[in-house]
Amino acid sequence: MLLRLSLRNIKRSLKDYTIYFFTLVLGVAIFYLFNSIESQSVMMDVSSSTREIIKMMVNFLSGVSVLVSFILGFLIIYASRFLMKRRHKEFGIYMILGMGKRQISWILLCETFLIGLVSLGFGLLIGIALSQVMSIFVANMFEADMTRFEFIFSSSATFKTILYFGVIYVIVMIFNTFSIGRQQLIDLLLSKRKNEQIKAKNTWLCTLVFLLSIGMLGYAYYLVTAGVTQLDSADKIFIPIALGISGTYLLFWSLSGFILKIMMFYKKHYFKGLNSFVVRQFSSQMNTTVFSMSLICLMLFTTICVLSSGIALKNAVTSNMQEFTPVDIYLEKNWDLAGQNANGKQYTQGEIADSHISIAETFRQLDFSIDKYFKDVCTVNTYATNDLTLKDTLGKAFPSIKQKYTFLNTDMAENIMRISDYNQIAKRYGQKQFQLSDHQYMIVANFDNMVAIRNQGLKANSPIQLLNQTYTPKYQTCQDGFVVPSSNESNSGIILVPDQAVNESIRAQNIMIANYKANDKAGCQAIEDKIIALDQHPYSKNTNLDAITRISIYEGSVGIGAMVIFIGIYIGVVFLISSAALLALKELSESADNKERYTMLRKIGTDEKMIQKALFKQIALFFVAPLMVAIVHSVFGIQFCTYIISTFGKQNLLPSIIATVIFIILIYGGYMMVTYYSSRAMLKD
């Protein structure tokens, strides 16, 4: 009997359950979708390094899934609270008819279990279907071979989804049982007649808090834009975050206190149509949802920044590959080792001996033929001395730069090259070549932040001392160029000097660049596999030879980009759905409580079209308010993201912002429209 009654209740309350059920299904589908990526990657033909990147991404997604489960759990409990509130009178009537609280709790348990079971089933089916499309997307992101494409069912993702959501539903069941157990009969019967107590807020206090919130947010905006250089350590980054969270809450708290008075000031618009009714409804909602609006605003802000910057970052790390990886392999080894290595251990005699021979000789010791596998070989040297540091090259500009960029390490020895050696590299890279007179020097760099710093020293015409000789800058700005291949503009600066300015006493590294003697990707990969296999050679323990290859840079860049995209979309989608669902459920609850008010409007002669327009305005204001504040936050947040992304390369954020806007309109706007039509149907009953 109780089961039959539960089924009847679910069917009768279908309108109330629509958004709740839809959100549950969507949450389950997304959870399965992102946790099934590991199974999807099994059928891809990728290199071992790419597979390691995929494994790392899967581990990240597993960690994010824990956060997602907490967010969805909070959302489901909030939704259950809304549905419970809607049915208080129903439960009171059950008790009048002789039903005990234990039996009502069993009805709720059955309803929660059935809704959870159905939503879990539908969500898994949708997730499994979408995962087939996702597998193609994953393969495209990692540029994998999909010739072995087949239907994939992830048992591990299914188990994880059932486990996480099973725990959430059990918590909801317990919550509902305790909620009914605490209620008295009179409270259940008269719950709809009880209004939330709204304490009037002092206008002057609200004004003071509003100004305080604007000041806090303004300073947070400054720190992440013009004052970003002050955030020179991880702990300082939390300062604008704390200011942003506190300022957002205080902003909504203060606005809820005098928003009605602000709107009443514009009497012409306030008394037009049903605007006065809409404004008072909205003001009442703002007063009772300060914390919710603040939380939703921050989640929307996170969604906008994560999606916009995530897509842009992916493009940034892959867009400049061709330009910044002009050769197949770059090799370097430290010269004349002494003292301790990076792990604090003394260098061995074998390592010291190897540091006095060239890269070509090291390859001979490793039984690797350069002539057989390499072409376009170029070998050069770099130099360094503790007598020439960044502090020295900045000259008179150093005090002001050090004060502004406190995190900058100015005591590290500069990287120095002979002009002829650099020109050999530049010729093979297709870069501009330069000439210097006997007492001139110049700096080549392409990392924008360091270029701006170095240019201050060059504009001051700062001379440098090198091996007891003085050199003055030929150019007042850094010239574009690099030596080490990478996925982005990462050259912080190389000092170019005349050939006679340096000698073997300050030689720091031996460098070799080359291309592979192969005409296709498979051939290049085969040569690279032979180079990787050199780690197993007995002589490898004696050398500090490092290699950077075009293939490894490309695979690493693609992997990082894909990881950022997937984690960004995962967090962004969940935050966006949670924000929209919270607002929708709150608005539906308000509509249910305001039936009598809309009935009164009909009784005084208000036509249905005007009522529907007023309802739409009320819902739109409620949805737009946190979104507008989130957009203002995002204007400055995205600028900070741009600063971070600039370390990976230049990238236009506009395409990713447009994609994010479309995404928000579809999901957030979709929830708003569903809420409007559900509320309209509810008020017609």
pLDDT higher than threshold 80 for residue 499: yes
pLDDT recorded at residue 98: 65
Residue with token string 């924000």? 579
Distances, alpha carbon 486 to alpha carbons 223, 364, 426, 514, 638, in Å = 30, 27, 15, 15, 25
What is the separation, in whole angstroms, between the first and last Cα of the chain?
28
- The candidate with the shortest Cα–Cα distance to 362, out of 552, 536, 534, 550, is 534
Per-residue tokens: 84 = 């419970």
Most confidently modeled range among 380-389, 481-490, 615-624: 380-389
pLDDT higher than threshold 70 for residue 287: yes
User: Is beta strand 329-334 parallel, antiparallel or unpaired with respect to 416-418?
Assistant: unpaired
Q: What angle do CA 324, 325, 326 make, to 5 degrees?
A: 100
- The candidate with the shortest Cα–Cα distance to 305, out of 668, 657, 659, is 657
Task: State the chain's mean pLDDT as an integer.
Answer: 80
- The candidate with the shortest Cα–Cα distance to 129, out of 52, 47, 29, is 29
**Rounded Cα–Cα distance for residues 187 and 181 (Å):** 12
**Rounded Cα–Cα distance for residues 366 and 599 (Å):** 89
List, in order, residues 6 or more apart from 389 with CB less than 8 Å away: 410, 411, 412, 413, 414
The proportion of the chain whose per-residue pLDDT surpasses 70, expressed as a percent, equals 79
pLDDT recorded at residue 370: 92
DSSP state of 500: G
H or E segment to which residue 38 belongs: helix 37-41
Residue of higher predicted confidence among 351 and 270: 351
pLDDT higher than threshold 60 for residue 235: yes
pLDDT recorded at residue 247: 92
Q: Where are the alpha helices (DSSP H) in 87-154?
A: 88-96, 101-141
pLDDT band (50, 70, 90) for residue 520: confident
Per-residue tokens: 58 = 């899967």
Least confident of 440-454, 521-535, 580-594, 620-634: 580-594
The sign of the dihedral angle between the CA atoms of 402, 404, 409, 413 is: negative
Question: Tell me: the pLDDT tens digits for 192-230?
Answer: 555 445 455 677 788 888 899 999 999 999 888 877 766
pLDDT recorded at residue 667: 87
Question: Tell me: the pLDDT tens digits for 8-63?
Answer: 665 666 666 677 778 888 888 888 888 887 776 554 555 666 667 777 777 777 77
DSSP one-letter string for 60-91: HHHHHHHHHHHHHHHHHHHHHHHHHHHTHHHH
Least confident of 154-168, 287-301, 411-425, 596-610: 596-610
Per-residue tokens: 24 = 């549950």
- The backbone torsions φ and ψ at residue 271, rounded to the nearest 5 degrees and listed phi first, read -95, 10
Least confident of 52-66, 308-322, 381-395, 506-520: 308-322
**Rounded Cα–Cα distance for residues 628 and 605 (Å):** 35
* Segment 625-642 mean pLDDT: 87
- The candidate with the shortest Cα–Cα distance to 468, out of 493, 436, 503, is 503
pLDDT higher than threshold 60 for residue 93: yes
Instruction: Count the helix, strand and coil residues of the chain and give each as a percent rounded to the nearest 5.
Output: 70, 10, 20
- The candidate with the shortest Cα–Cα distance to 617, out of 281, 278, 289, 280, is 278
Residue of higher predicted confidence among 376 and 96: 376
- The candidate with the shortest Cα–Cα distance to 589, out of 192, 238, 86, 210, is 86
List, in order, residues 6 or more apart from 666 with CB less than 8 Å away: none
* Segment 516-542 mean pLDDT: 87
Residue of higher predicted confidence among 320 and 57: 57
Most confidently modeled range among 37-41, 282-286, 337-341: 282-286
Amino acid code (one letter) for 649: G
List, in order, residues 6 or more apart from 326 with CB less than 8 Å away: 428, 429, 430, 485
pLDDT band (50, 70, 90) for residue 605: confident
Per-residue tokens: 431 = 């870069």
What are the boundaries of each domain within the chain?
1-194, 338-543
